[in-house]
Structures are given as C-alpha cells and as structure tokens.
Amino acid sequence: MPSALNLSLSKNIVITGFMGTGKTSVGRAVAERLGREFVDMDAVIESRAGKPIARIFAEDGEPAFRQIEAALCEELRARDGLVIATGGGALVSPANRARMMTSGPVVCLTCDVDEILRRVDGNVDRPLLAVADRRAQIERLLQARREAYAAIPWQIDTTALTIEEVTDQVIGIAGVITLPVHHPEGQYDIHIGNGMLKYIGGTLRAIGIAEGSRVAIVSNTVVAPLYAGQVTASLQSAGCVPFVCSIPDGEPFGKTLATVASLYNQFLVGGLDRSGTVLALGGGVTGDVAGFAAATFMRGVRFVQVPTTLLAMVDASVGGKTGVDLPQGKNLVGAFKQPVLVVIDPAVLATLPADEFRSGMAEMIKHGVIGDVALSVELESRQGDEETRRPGDWGDWIARALQVKIAVVEQDPFEQGRRAVLNLGHTVGHALEKLSGFSLRHGEAVSIGMAAAARIAVELGRADASLVDRIEAVLSAWELPVRCPPVDTDAILAAMTHDKKKQGHGLRWVLPHAIGQVEIIADVPVQVVKSVLCSLGARSKP
C-alpha cells in the first residue's frame, strides 16, 4: 500500500483563504518543495482574459469574473498533482468548494485583520479593496465569508508564521488519509495524520458544529494532562466552547455505570445541551464510556472520537459500539452510537507505554488475519525492525487495519451476522480479562485468544497446523503472549457463559482457515476447548 503522504499527494493540493493570508507565496513554496506544477488561479484568469482582474471587475463586472472562476475550478479538478492557489473568494461558492474538495485536500489560510492590512498596504490591484476604509471592507468581507471558510476542515493561521512554517503544515495536511464510513444513519470520516490534534477545531466546524457550541472533552487522569490543553486550544480557536470532563483511568474503575452517571453530572455543570458534542480523548475505555454517555444524555448528543492508544485507533474508535461492564462480564450494557467524526493522530503514540502499544498491535494483527493478507505479511516481515516498532508515522498501517474493520461494519452495522468476525480471539480473551481482574490487557488477552482460536481450528480439521505456527510467531515477535495464565479451564468456560457472543446455549467462535479467511461457527465441543486451553498452559481439574 502507498505511504500516507503518497496517497494524498497523487491528488491536487488546494490552498485558499482571504487576500493577504499568503496563498500564492505558500503555494509556490509547496510546489517547489514537492516538485509539482503550481497554478495561481488569478494569474491564469488574467492571462486568458488578457487584462488584470481589476479591469475584469471594472469592465465586465464581478458576476462575469465569478463565472470564469467557476469554469476554471471545474477544469482544474479534473487534473492531478497540482498545487493550486485560489482567489480569496473562489471557494465561497458551495459548488466551487465541492469541486475543489473532490480534487484533493483543501487548506484554508487565515490571518488577523491588522496583519492583512500590513500585507496588502500599497497594493492597488485588489478591486474589492478599492474603497476609502480598507479595514472596514476587510472586516465586512471576512464576516460575509466566515461560514464558507469554516466549511473547510484544514485551517492554518498564518499571522505569526513564516512561509516555511506554513509550507510544512500544508504538506503535513496533504499527507492526511481520510477514510469514509457509511452507516444506516449517514456517513462520517476518519482523518489519520500526524499533528491532527491542532486541526480538531476546524474539522468539527467543517462538519457543521456551530460557533459557540459546547464540547465536553471526556478524558482520564493520564491522557488529559498530555493532550486536553492542545485539543481545548484548537476548539477555542474555531469558536467552540470546550470543557474537560474527567473519568478514572483503567477499565475496572472507569468502565462502569457509576462513571457514566458522573459524566452526566459533569455535562450538566458544563452546560451541555442537545446541540452540544461529546468528544472522547483517550483509549478504548474512554471511547466506550463517553460514547455510551453521549448516546443516552438527553436522548443523544453528537459524539466525536479522538483515540490516543493504538488499540483504540485500529479498533474501538470505529463501528459505533459503546458500553460499560457489569460485574458479570464485559460490555453487557451499551448502545450503538455512531460518531460524527474520528480524528487519529499517530504522533500521540510517542507517549504510549510499551505494554499499551503491544496491546494495540494485537488488534492490528487480528485485522490482518481477518481480511488483509498483505498487511499480515508486512507485519511478519517487519517484526524485527526496531525502527518500525517505534511510534512514528503509523498512518498507513492504521488505515489498512481500519479498512478491514470498515468493510465489515458497513456490511453489518448492528452485529447481526458478519460483524462477529471482528471478535476473533475475543471469546477466550474476554474471559481471561475478567478472570485476571483486568490486569491482563485487552490486546494481551486477545492475543492468547487468537492462539486458542487457531489451535481449535486445527483440532477441528478446519485449518492446517502451519497456521498456528504462523499466527503464534507474529504475535510472539511483537512481544504478545500466546500462552494462558495457569487458570482452571472450568473457570474460563464459566466466564465465557456471560460473553455477549453467546447464542442460546452455545458460543459463537471465530476461527481462522488461513490468513485473510475466517469463519463463524457454533458449539465447538467442550473437550476440544479444554484440550486447547490446556495446551496453552491452563489447568484442568483431574
């Protein structure tokens, strides 16, 4: 699969924004850095018309200019690999904006009024500034274009930045991978890219969250000190009103009905109403709890996922499943709540503890086994690469793992059939988590569960013995466990009886046939399960 950067850089890069924000200078710098053709739309229009834009306005009128501009937008969107600087008003038109947003990533440059005035001082070639009071005119135009500019997710304030600094940010945005997810109520996007936290405010405004809207940032005591400030600043810069809500760290303490009740109270104190948004900033527990609270508070408010662990990025943040645990088992209370947006910033993995990182790798490996042979092969071949193990630009792998999950959840949004394949490794895994008091991390438990599923498949004659070696080898190479704790097999079986995946009197098992091929079967003989668990280190009473 191509790199994250190449995925987006095969398309155009469009730079827009108000006059004086630096569109042309930055566009030229981006094009030079990437070795691309640069197109200044205003310059093209002047060349074709044979006269400057000021004369077009004076002689033909602004409507004629806008028609030429629209035709050029249509022409340019059919091309690839360009860096395009638009005129300041070109994308005010919803039709032009839609055209260019299908052409490639669109970045809106912004700037404060004083700096704009300084930058355009002495420039007589701007027909819209041919007035006595330029400041008043700039303020009027900015207000008129406010909503149009806000509809563009990627915003860079150039007021205090150099051309080089803005160029770096534009190139970073161009490397963002966007994956659409369709569900029965509509669609949402997943944006994946390093540095995404600084753009959260713009991405929320672009999907229609209004200026002045309250946003409850739900995070725990570990993640909030690291990233809540950055998210808050981004939301405030977009005109939102954020406030932070805290939940305990860890599944035993955080993923409970009591935690949900505490969130309701914090939402009320923060003034959240039905027009507001709940934003989950954290791992899978935070997303599950915040999502369930969002689904039930005032009968439902908007929900945004900003996962900060690898496990949540590749699994828990997508698909709409939310919920909490009961003493009897995991996720026994919950609801389907689709997010309106998912923002994934792989750069935050730099602060993720190694054991949490490995836990996320289990879900990534799982998705490869379920539906991406090439991803599995790559994880196997790169397993000893120390550079690969370091959290850097993981956008490609995260996107590929997510594409497996997206394909499944789009086919089965409410877990009525095919979606159960995503539970590979979870039948045994959930039981081991519960029996360990959640000291065994989710990914670690799933890893053991995958080893068990592969062995059961072999015992039932549904897979070749070499599959066990292959799956256990890649799990072990990424430092994940493939052996059971010395727990009694009867205790494991009893814990499985409270699993959501149970149907009637039996359990549904997800078993691999081969890499990229899994099946769902019911009623695996108990003696086969016990035998496999014992082979992995569990104990059996005589």
Mean pLDDT, consecutive 10-residue stretches, the chain (542 aa), reads 45 95 96 96 95 92 94 95 95 95 95 93 78 91 94 96 96 93 93 94 94 96 96 96 95 89 97 97 95 96 97 90 87 91 94 91 96 92 61 79 94 83 94 91 96 97 96 94 94 82 69 95 91 94 71
- The per-residue pLDDT for 246 is 96
Q: Per CATH, is 406-535 categorized as 3.30.450.20? A: no
DSSP-derived 3-state class of residue 40: strand
Instruction: Report the predicted TM-score, pTM, of the whole model to 2 decimal places.
Output: 0.89
Query: Same CATH fold, 177-352 and 4-174?
Result: yes
How many other CB atoms sit within 10 Å of the CB of residue 210?
Answer: 12
**Which has the closest alpha carbon to 232: 195, 177, 281?**
281
CATH number belonging to the domain at 177-352, selected among 3.30.465.10, 3.40.50.720, 3.40.50.1970, 3.40.30.10: 3.40.50.1970
- The per-residue pLDDT for 129 is 82
Q: Contact 130/38 with Cβ under 8 angstroms?
A: no
Where are the chain's structural domains? 4-174, 177-352, 406-535
Q: Contact 361/320 with Cβ under 8 angstroms?
A: no
State the amino acid at position 84 in one-letter form.
I
**CATH class of the domain comprising 4-174:** alpha beta
Residue 26 half-sphere exposure, CB side, CA atoms within 13 Å?
31
DSSP state letter for 269:
H
**Which has the closest alpha carbon to 28: 44, 39, 12?**
39
- The per-residue pLDDT for 6 is 44
